[in-house]
Amino acid sequence: MSGATVVLPTGPVKNGQVVVEGTRITSTTPETAQLIDVTNHYLVPGFIDLHNHGGGGASFTSGTPEEILKGIHTHRIHGTTTLVASTVTGDMDFLAQRAGLLSELAEQGDIAGIHFEGPFISPCRKGAHSEALLRDPDPAEVRKLIDAARGQARMLTLATELPGGLDSVRLLAEHGVIAAIGHTDATYEQTVEAIEAGATVATHLFNAMPPLGHRDPGPIAALLEDERITVELINDGTHLHPAALQLAFHHARAKRVALITDAMDAAGFGDGRYMLGPLEVEVSEGVARLVEGGSIAGSTLTLDRAFKRAVTVDGLPVEDVVAAISANPARLLGMSDRIGSLEPGKDADLVLLDERFDLKGVMRRGEWVVDPQLG
């Protein structure tokens, strides 16, 4: 592996190597080890997506298990070796039923758990969620979703300023589920209160929340300034201006940023008409918007594109991008002992990129999902 560049969360290591035996990275070189020549390439940890609604034509909210697996595979071939499946606002009984289905896939190891985005969000900042199905965050109903997920609930996005919001945050924290502030109309002071109650994530920062103001800073200032908050960013060139991305990386200092896709089923599939929950979406030139009203409706992003854009367009250091797309999400999920970096004993989840940061290979748990074709 002479001439390789192996990128770790602590920075690039020239002429390094990662040796894989079975499903794990190892520090030894047994006869059965896989040796990969990655000269003039970057080898980085597998990508981890905390917020993903589907892909490959499949919706995680409404698809069959077979369709969901197709969506998962679509993102795997783009470098996402670990994925949290996100739902959208729906009827409580329907969401509980979906939680049961998705929990089976999590128990099988196909996904890393479930993220409930809605229905406990603000009608003022609903985005691509059905207003008719929104509700205040009643802790009893939050508990219903947690129980339906059978230990596989990883995150729940809610507008914490709504009645029951703070009690719901405390309930989530008690059960080890990430409370994420999003689709919110909260003030700065209300957001600080939610963080004190146990919220630890900003769902797609800047989007579906009041803008930053000099007299009324709103949730953005509170979320950026607090060391306990990890901020999600959708780096597709549509959801964020590059200056907003730079602002977030500057204030969160890379260690508190998680690059996500917020992908819907059109990701990796193409333009056309789709359903996002009960709402119809038109995807044109890769941008998803509601047919009625024109709100942005998730994205068609894949994390390999987010990585390349972050380095080549936004000019971020490779080390910072690796942290935001692998190490930070792993830490947030409590999975840093298994994934998120290239260290002996961890899962052999690897992504191979060329010098232009185009994806050339993907390995998940020691098996090639995309077999590298190197000259």
128 appears as a binding residue in the annotation: yes
297 appears as a binding residue in the annotation: yes
* CA triple 238-239-240, angle to 5 deg: 95
End-to-end CA distance of the chain: 14
Nearest in space to 82 (alpha carbons), one of 56, 45, 48: 48
298 appears as a binding residue in the annotation: yes
282 appears as a binding residue in the annotation: no
Cβ(8)–Cβ(22) below 8 Å: no
Tokens at residue 272, please?
A: 């056309």
254 appears as a binding residue in the annotation: no
Cβ(277)–Cβ(130) below 8 Å: yes
Contacting residues for 184 by C-beta, under 8 A, at least 6 apart: 121, 122, 125, 158, 159, 160, 161, 191, 208, 209, 219
- How many CB atoms within 10 Å of residue 352? 22
In the three-class reduction of DSSP (H, G, I as helix; E, B as strand; rest coil), residue 95 is classed as: helix
CA distance 246 to 102: 35
207 appears as a binding residue in the annotation: yes
204 appears as a binding residue in the annotation: yes
272 appears as a binding residue in the annotation: no
As to burial, measured by CB atoms within 10 angstroms (0-12 exposed, 13-18 middle, 19+ buried), residue 121 is buried
- Which runs of consecutive H residues, i.e. helices, occur in the chain? 65-76, 92-107, 139-148, 165-174, 188-197, 218-225, 242-252, 303-312, 318-322, 328-332
Cβ(347)–Cβ(355) below 8 Å: no
Nearest in space to 297 (alpha carbons), one of 315, 268, 275: 275
33 appears as a binding residue in the annotation: no
Cite the active site residues: 262
- Give the annotated binding-site residues for Zn(2+): 117, 183, 204
- Give the annotated binding-site residues: 117, 128, 183, 204, 207-208, 215, 239, 296-298
